[in-house]
Structure 1
Amino acid sequence: MKTVIFIPARYASTRYPGKPLAVLTLPDGSRKSLIQMSWEAAQSITGVDAVYVATDDDRIAEAARAFGAEVVMTSPDCANGTERCADALANSGIEADLVVNFQGDAPLTPPWFVEDLIAAMKADPAIPMATPVLRCDAETYANFLEDRRNGRVGGTTAVFGTQGNALYFSKEVIPFVDPEKMPDPVPVFHHVGVYAYRPDALAGYVAQAATPLELLEGLEQLRFLETGVPVRCVEVEGRGRVFWELNNPADVPRIETALRKLEAAVK
């Protein structure tokens, strides 16, 4: 099964313009762009045949080529990362049995999150697409609540049924849990913004217009649910790693702190 990774990247982010080229400080004091860190994280994933940066922006393309990435130019009309992956696959001549959308704003994504996702898709050919979910620890749950208290749109949460298929995704913290009755472990799952699709699922996605809940929440994966396409949630383990995406400028210090903790743990 040929598996390729696309890292969709756009410059005109509503919440954080120019986000792929945002520069983070690493524990050794060096500095790298978010898109380079994400590409390097994708390179560490096993079982993948190729990794491409998919963008419509010449600035991102130039920066990506400078650090050695292969780039696929896509239409500026792509409304989200899934549409950009579909465009990249349809118009580049690249052939794949499985396409992974690896977010360009999540350099903290451990390789095994994606490896587990690919394994789930290989194990069940009936799954049209899948995405990882990670049970929140106390720190991540507190970050979610802090963002909502401060009116920031942070990470996404997911709820799913007993068979593992998604019921809903939201930028609100769901399910609601009475703080006085919080069970252990925390019953809230952080949606990890990585997707694996079969080519037919991608083609079907772009054949549909954007759906009401997708537009309200600003979550591309809701188009699948609203049009009756099941989304398999694959629970992954953090193994002590802190996971957080760069959604807002306020997330930069969170990620830099997580990188320092990761460096200290390795030592």
Structure 2
Amino acid sequence: MSVVIVIPARHASTRYPGKPLVELRGATGEALSLIRRSWEAAQQVQGIDRVIVATDDERIAEHATAFGAEVAMTSTTARNGTERCAEAVASLGLTPEIVVNLQGDAPLTPAWFVEDLVAGLRADAVADVATPVLRCSGDMRSELIADRVAGRVGGTTAVFGHDRLALYFSKEVIPFAAADFGPSDPTPVFHHVGVYAYRPAALAEYPGWGEGRLEVLEGLEQLRFLERGRRILCVEVEARGREFWELNNPSDVPKLEAMMARMGLA
């Protein structure tokens, strides 16, 4: 039984071209690229057999190879990270038990998020995919709302049923709640953490379905699974005092660097 992490990375991002090579300074002041920090985060996960950077760009491939990563070259036609993961697994002839998509724009992803995700998928007999969700504090909910008011693409939120199976994901802040929440109050809003664990059969099917209507409208690749009736397990994870944010826009760079400084992450 094996678990493989694939880190999809492309240079031609619509919102932030060249994002995987953008440097982030940690608490010590050392500047390392986003893709390297994501790869190093993957190395901290227990129970992983292999970590692969999947890219269609030679600049990213050369950079990743230079710091010691295994690289799989993929086509330029992959429309999102899930398609790129599927292509990398197929091209390498891998037959793992579980494939983890650790997206290259979330270097602050704690190792236990991924470990809990893998354990959750293993324990659930019906889910095809699993993904972590983090209950928002009042402050985090306010940040998500502020991004939307300002017209920025910020974090994604998730809603799920009593069985923890996803009902929907959105870049809007859902569910709506009229109540005010204090800075540290738990809210009914769950921030979706952009990490996925797939059963290989579901991952292999995904590229052949074509883009779904909701997927295109929201710009969220996981909605293709829901539109095709596949089940996504939402695994609630705990921050344990760690701050978490994804690098979506250039304005997120100082935000991530400030978080790393506060947490003492090199």
In structure 2, give the amino acid aligned to 1:86: A
Q: How far apart in 2 are the matches of 1:4 and 1:121?
A: 14
Q: What TM-score do you get using the length of structure 1 for normalisation? A: 0.96
In structure 1, give the amino acid aligned to 2:15: R
What's the counterpart of residue 222 of structure 2? Answer: 221
Q: How far apart in 1 are the matches of 2:38 and 2:127?
A: 26
What's the counterpart of residue 149 of structure 2? Answer: 149
SS at match of 1:90: helix
Residue 122 of structure 1: how far off its partner (Å): 1.5
SS at match of 1:176: coil
Structure 2 unaligned residues grouped into runs of 5+:
none
Q: How far apart in 2 are the matches of 1:198 and 1:46?
A: 19
Q: How far apart in 2 are the matches of 1:147 and 1:249?
A: 13
Q: How far apart in 2 are the matches of 1:159 and 1:31?
A: 36
After superposition, the Cα gap between the structure-2 partners of 1:23 and 1:125, relative to the gap in structure 1 and judged at 3 Å, is same
What's the counterpart of residue 197 of structure 1? Answer: 198
SS at match of 2:188: coil
What's the counterpart of residue 19 of structure 2? Answer: 19
Residue 253 of structure 1: how far off its partner (Å): 1.0
Q: How far apart in 1 are the matches of 2:47 and 2:126?
A: 20
**Higher mean displacement: 133-142 or 55-64:** 133-142
Aligned residues: 265
SS at match of 1:130: strand
What's the counterpart of residue 187 of structure 1? Answer: 188
What's the counterpart of residue 238 of structure 1? Answer: 239
> Identity rate of aligned residues, in percent?
62
Q: How far apart in 2 are the matches of 1:88 and 1:55?
A: 9
In structure 2, give the amino acid aligned to 1:146: A
Residue 56 of structure 1: how far off its partner (Å): 0.5
Write the mapping of 1:112-191 to structure 2, written as runs, cut at 5 A: 112-180=112-180, 184-191=185-192
Residue 139 of structure 1: how far off its partner (Å): 2.7
What's the counterpart of residue 98 of structure 2? Answer: 98
SS at match of 1:136: strand
What's the counterpart of residue 259 of structure 1? Answer: 260
Deviations 1:196-244 (A, max 9, x none): 0011001121120100000000000000001100111000000111110
Deviations 1:88-145 (A, max 9, x none): 0111122311100001000110000000000011212432111000001233212211
Write the mapping of 1:37-116 to structure 2, written as runs, cut at 5 A: 37-116=37-116
In structure 1, give the amino acid aligned to 2:221: E
In structure 1, give the amino acid aligned to 2:147: D
Q: How far apart in 2 are the matches of 1:110 and 1:215?
A: 29
Q: How far apart in 1 are the matches of 2:207 and 2:213?
A: 15
Deviations 1:52-109 (A, max 9, x none): 0000000000110111100011111000000000000111122311100001000110
SS at match of 1:51: strand
